Structure 1
Amino acid sequence: MIDHLGITVADFDASKAFYDKAMAPLGAALLYMVPLEYTGGAKVGGYGRDRPVFWLSSGKDKPKDHQHVAFTARSRAEVDAFHAAALAAGGKDNGGPGLRPHYHPNYYGAFVFDPDGNNVEAVCHAPE
């Protein structure tokens, strides 16, 4: 039911570099940058597969509250690749790829902290 969501980041360019690499294994990429004349000078960009659904916005100050976002992976291999790419891009491990049966028997996810400390996850719900 979520159409799109966005987070504010302290350093847009650093976060963009992180998400460019972390999203690639999920088949997602930066699809759109809003022209600065429409944002009051803030950098705003949207990631997705077919259309932008996850938005980054530059903020004046470091965000005070960390957020959590989970991206749908189409396979467990995508979850594994997301985790590896996110770590290679400078993310910090917050739970490697694996089953989380306390959510449901086929919940296979991996978690990383992005440059602002947000908890970013890739999850696959399919059996194997």
Structure 2
Amino acid sequence: MIDHLGIDVADFDASKAFYDKAMAPLGASLLYTVPLEYTGGAKVGGYGRDRPVFWLQEGKQGEKANQHVAFTARSRTEVDAFHAAALAAGGKDNGAPGLRPHYHPNYYGAFVFDPDGNNVEAVCHDPE
């Protein structure tokens, strides 16, 4: 069970612009920006629907492996809209919206790479 998750991004402002657009179809937005005096000068912000659960922190990507995160969509239409919004925001396609029956029969997801190369997914598990 995940309460919240954070990823490092190389350029906070570029990632914020991407996630502002990509998260809107999922009903999520930037809810909180941590004051710089509490972060040692790094930009940090949290996205969510009713509370911040997905955090961006400006830092070095370096040689570490990129990360994967999947966001719950409330419908297949939201998955489609997420994918379109993420591509329009500069994301790179990593899997168009569609069923992924190798996970389970109702797994409907879409994948994009964010500006840092992280694999970001929206998924709906409902049958329709």
TM-score, normalised on structure 1?
A: 0.98
Please give the per-residue CA displacement for 1:41-77, whole angstroms capped at 9, x wherever unaligned.
Answer: 0000000000000000001x23421000000000000
Find the counterpart in structure 1 of residue 34 from structure 2. Answer: 34
**Local SS of the residue matching 1:8:** strand
**Local SS of the residue matching 1:90:** coil
Taking only the aligned residue pairs, the percentage that are identical comes to 90
Find the counterpart in structure 2 of residue 53 from structure 1. Answer: 53
For 2:80 and 2:58, the matched residues in 1 are separated by 29
**Local SS of the residue matching 1:2:** coil
Query: Unaligned stretches of 5+ in structure 1?
Result: none
Query: Unaligned stretches of 5+ in structure 2?
Result: none
For 1:3 and 1:39, the matched residues in 2 are separated by 20
Find the counterpart in structure 1 of residue 61 from structure 2. Answer: 62
**Local SS of the residue matching 1:50:** coil
RMSD of the TM alignment (CA)?
0.6
1:72 maps to a residue whose letter is T
1:123 maps to a residue whose letter is V
Indicate whether 1:20 and 2:20 are aligned.
yes
Aligned residues: 127
1:1-128 aligned at under 5 Å gives the runs: 1-59=1-59, 61-63=60-62, 64-128=64-128
For 1:118 and 1:34, the matched residues in 2 are separated by 22
1:65 maps to a residue whose letter is A
Please give the per-residue CA displacement for 1:6-41, whole angstroms capped at 9, x wherever unaligned.
Answer: 000000000000000000000000000000000000
